[in-house]
Amino acid sequence: MPASHVIEVADRQVCTTITGVVTFDEVLQQIAALRADPKFNPDFFEIVDLSGTTDVRLGYDEFKRIEKLDPFSAKSKRAIVVPTNPAVFGVSRMYHLIQNEDPKIKIFRTDKEARTWLNSR
């Protein structure tokens, strides 16, 4: 799972792109990279682009562990973009359900829809 992020300080947003197969260890590495980035602010909003993701190898237990390590604050809005892959969409939906369908987390089919929602602050 190659993962990368770009922090847009002026927009108060983190743009995370994940491609390939998502694994727990790589998610932990991405969380560590975010925390180590001096431009990172936990109150920023995040857009996660999963359009290049082919598989997600995370289950309920891993999602619960990730939830405890989440670097973003409760104020942060998170938009997840899954354009076409039904399996990745389903796993993203499972993550949202584990978060008790938190209204600050939404799943979108297009980047434009995600950015419109994030910018509606």
When the pLDDT of each residue in the chain is averaged and rounded to a whole number, the result is 91
Could you tell me if 53 and 83 are in contact, meaning their C-beta atoms sit under 8 angstroms apart?
no
Structural domains counted in the chain: 1
Residue 12's domain spans which residues? 3-118
Pairing of strands 13-23, 3-8: antiparallel
Reply yes or no on whether the pLDDT at 117 is more than 90: yes
Q: For the residues 24-35, what does the mean pLDDT come to?
A: 94
Could you tell me if 61 and 91 are in contact, meaning their C-beta atoms sit under 8 angstroms apart?
no
CA 14 to CA 21: how far, in whole Å? 21
Q: What CATH number does residue 10 fall under?
A: 3.30.750.24
Q: What is the pTM of this model?
A: 0.87
Take residue 55 and report the two structure tokens written for it: 């598989």
